[in-house]
Amino acid sequence: MKRLLILLIIIISFFILIYFNDRRFWEIQSIDTTKYSRDLAREKLNDDSFNEIIEFQVKQIALARASHIAISTPYDAEFAPYLVRWVGVARKNNLNVWFRGNLSGWEGWFEYPEITKSEHAEAIAKFLVENQLLFMDGDIFDPCPECENGALGDPRHTGKLNEYREFLKDEHQKISETFTSLGKDVLIAHSMNADVAKLVMNQDTTKKLGGMVTIDHYVADSGKFLSDIREIERISGGDILIGEFGVPIPDIHGELDESGQSAFIKQTLDILSAQSYVKGVNYWTGFGGSSSLWRDDFSEKSAVDVVEKYYKPDIILLIFSTPAGHFFKSVVGYSPD
């Protein structure tokens, strides 16, 4: 009987190893570079010495087991050489790219003049055609991150909800047709503030935007984060992609130290890993800003290990993310570390 039990355990363990081998929580696991890939785009545009910093940051993001790197360089022709540098290094490190730039005129970046919604759609399609070699299958393209902050205005304040929805739908269709014509399998994302998503993303809009709702979300506790994404999933009927999540943002989270940052990230990623409708996470940011994973001197914070653990989870963590694992944790009060 004892030998039979041992044999049964070995067989079960074997199948568990096969099932969980090389699995991960999310299809999209990203780390953001906005503070360097966008904010310094003009300053470092012609600075070849900056390549060393780009290469270091991208390599560290790859080592943290990300599948994607979020690059926010503007889509204007002026910044194309800078974008090419970032994307080239990403490919060298076997990373897909989450393009999270925009045309500078939408929000007035770098003193660009304001553009209209029709000018935006046409210029984005032109950018895709002229820069088609930048894209590869598995990438993500956001034509207008947090579009509510730009020329069209926030539908919560303008009252132009239908106009806003139609703009997103029309632009999504145009971009989708362009990528199809280029033979590129690229996911189109439309990130927005969670409160905007609750208003805008009804089931019809979500369906016409590819069945995905992308939200940039910062709240004071993980429980609120979960309740918000559950509400959006219910309203939209779509999957959820986390376009931005990071701590601490001092106005929201207070002045967390590094251990507090790690604890908050762990708690939130633990919750997100249990939601089957959450298809991806972009941590904001890797370098620069209060929520960064690396310090200003580029040394690692303890939060890097936390993110890496969820981006490439070990078998025991994967098992405990299943419904049975969560039930066991709730009964015995055990959480794998």
Render 166-197 in DSSP notation, one character per residue. HHHHHHHHHHHHHHHHHT---EE--EEEHHHH
322 found inside a domain: no
Q: At 279, which helix (H) or strand (E)?
A: strand 278-283
Range 156-170 average pLDDT: 97
4 found inside a domain: no
Per-position b or e across 157-182, b if 16+ CB within 10 A of its CB: eeeeeeebbebbbebbebbeebbeee
**pLDDT tens by residue, 210-232:** 999 999 999 999 999 999 999 99
Distance of CA 83 to the CA centre of its chain: 18
CATH number of the domain that 97 lies in? 3.20.20.80
User: What percent of the chain shows pLDDT beyond 90?
Assistant: 85
Range 181-196 average pLDDT: 98
**pLDDT tens by residue, 126-143:** 999 999 999 999 999 999
**pLDDT tens by residue, 285-309:** 999 999 999 999 999 999 999 999 9
DSSP letter (8 states) at residue 274 = T
State pTM to two decimals: 0.88
| Total count of domains within the chain | 1
31 found inside a domain: yes
CA angle, residues 124, 178, 172, in degrees to nearest 5: 65
291 found inside a domain: yes
**pLDDT tens by residue, 67-84:** 999 999 999 999 999 999
Q: How far apart are CA 144 and CA 296, in angstroms?
A: 28
Range 225-245 average pLDDT: 98
Question: Which pLDDT belongs to residue 193?
Answer: 98
Question: Which pLDDT belongs to residue 16?
Answer: 46
How confident is residue 262, by pLDDT bands cut at 50, 70 and 90? very high
42 found inside a domain: yes
Question: What is the overall mean pLDDT for the chain?
Answer: 91
1 found inside a domain: no
How confident is residue 268, by pLDDT bands cut at 50, 70 and 90? very high
Question: Which pLDDT belongs to residue 8?
Answer: 63
**pLDDT tens by residue, 25-56:** 999 999 999 999 999 999 999 999 999 999 99
Q: Indicate the angle between helix axes 303-311 and 258-273, nearest 10 degrees.
A: 10
Question: Which pLDDT belongs to residue 175?
Answer: 97
The lowest-confidence range among 19-33, 43-57, 150-164, 180-194 is: 19-33
Q: Which residues span the domain enclosing 77?
A: 25-313
**pLDDT tens by residue, 89-122:** 999 999 999 999 999 999 999 999 999 999 999 9
Q: What's the distance, Cα to Cα, between the start and end of the chain in Å?
A: 34
Edge-first strand order for the sheet with 96-99 is 187-188, 140-141, 96-99, 68-71, 28-32, 278-283, 239-245, 212-216, 191-193
318 found inside a domain: no
Question: Which pLDDT belongs to residue 4?
Answer: 66
Question: Which pLDDT belongs to residue 196?
Answer: 98
82 found inside a domain: yes
Burial class (CB in 10 A: 0-12, 13-18, 19+), 133: exposed
Q: How far apart are CA 198 and CA 233, in angstroms?
A: 9
DSSP letter (8 states) at residue 29 = E
Is the pLDDT at 315 greater than 90? The verdict is no
Q: How far apart are CA 307 and CA 265, in angstroms?
A: 8
**Around Cβ 263, how many Cβ atoms within 10 Å?**
17
